[in-house]
Amino acid sequence: MAFHTYILRCRDGTYYVGHTDDLERRIAEHQSAAFQGYTSRRLPAVLLWAQDFQTRDEAFAAERKLKGWSRAKKEAMMAGDWILVSELARSASPQGASTSSA
């Protein structure tokens, strides 16, 4: 079974990030306002990006990570501009903070 993390653009131009185990069904739920929430008040919502993951935990971790990113960083990632993603990550780091990962 595949799991997915996705980004929607809402009518007001904002982005919604989510994860699911059935992308087609979940997008249809967003479009039909099946659940009251963020996207139901901002329809229509258009799928801009999705990525598959092996486990729900990986998809959820990706969702949480993307939700913490700036709009510019999300847009660079969706465009496949990994150089800009990296630059935006560095510019968002607090002064003096270590950028290495253990």
Q: How far apart are CA 84 and CA 73, in angstroms?
A: 8
Which tokens hold the place of 28? Answer: 């249809």
Q: How far apart are CA 85 and CA 40, in angstroms?
A: 30
| Assigned CATH for 3-92 | 3.40.1440
Q: Taking the domains of the chain in order of start, what are their residue ranges? A: 3-92
Tell me: pLDDT of 10 over 90.
yes
Share of the chain above pLDDT 70, in %: 90
Which tokens hold the place of 78? Answer: 């969706």
How is the chain split among helix, strand and coil, in percent rounded to 5?
Answer: 45, 25, 35
Query: pLDDT digits over 49-81, tens only?
Result: 999 999 999 999 999 999 999 999 999 999 999
pTM above 0.85, yes or no: yes
Handedness of CA 47, 53, 32, 9 (dihedral sign): negative
Q: What is the CA radius of gyration of the chain?
A: 15
* Residue 96 confidence class, pLDDT cut points 50, 70, 90: very low
